[in-house]
Copies of this chain bind each other. A is one copy, B any other.
Amino acid sequence: MVSVLGYALLGLLARAPSTGYDLTRVLDRDLSYFWSARHSQIYPELARLERGDHVRHTVISGAGPRPTKRYEITARGRDALTAWLVGEPEESIERNPTMLRISSLWLIDRAAARQLLDGVRRRSTDRLSLYRRFAAEFDAEPGSADPSQPAFATRATLEAGIRSQEARLAWCDWLQERLEGSGR
């Protein structure tokens, strides 16, 4: 039994062998816009994946107080990952704090509503420009057009992020018009 976090780690390890620290940089610090995890979750999960023979490690030289471990995916791990990709999707339980706030928008006056909406718009704008910058970098590389390359998949997730933020910004305009339009 592999958890979703386990599949996230397998997906990264299928791209390149990495240390737990490398994986943490991707999932905690960097561009973790569709999955995130802290190192305190990642290290135990790697140990569990190893117990299930989905990854294996070799000790390499490194700067930590403990032995530095370089993990790589096993054949069994790769099989489990590809089986999951086309398998039944988990019920994605949406938990969207922004929309939760919006659902109580009727409680506050127009000025407060504008403030709330401006915050949403600003964060969305920031996200969008970040994604567009990354997407441009990928488009400059050759691998991003080849479906068998990791860069292709990353570019696809970036496109989803871009379109999602564009849609949200258009929604902000729609809502603002409805707010201002009413003689409240």
Shortest distance between the CB of A34 and any CB in chain B (Å): 4
Question: Is A113 a contact of B147 with CB atoms below 8 Å?
Answer: yes
- From A36, A102, A115, residue with most partner B Cβ within 10 Å: A102
Shortest distance between the CB of A42 and any CB in chain B (Å): 15
- Docked complex Cα distance between A82 and B116 (Å): 11
Contact with B along A161-180 (1 / 0, CB 8 A): 10110111011001100110
- Interface band, chain A: 35 or more
Pick out which of these stretches binds chain B: A7-15, A44-52, A59-67. Answer: A7-15
Question: Is A105 a contact of B156 with CB atoms below 8 Å?
Answer: yes
Determine if A136 is an interface residue (Cβ-Cβ < 8 Å): no
Question: Is B85 a contact of A105 with CB atoms below 8 Å?
Answer: yes
- Docked complex Cα distance between A113 and B182 (Å): 47
Question: Is A100 a contact of B7 with CB atoms below 8 Å?
Answer: yes
Chain A residues numbered 24-69 whose CB sits less than 8 Å from any CB in chain B: 32-36
Question: Is B100 a contact of A96 with CB atoms below 8 Å?
Answer: no
Task: Write 11 A-B pairs (CB below 8 A) sorted by A numbering.
Answer: A4-B97, A78-B107, A90-B97, A99-B157, A106-B147, A106-B150, A106-B151, A147-B184, A159-B174, A160-B171, A163-B168
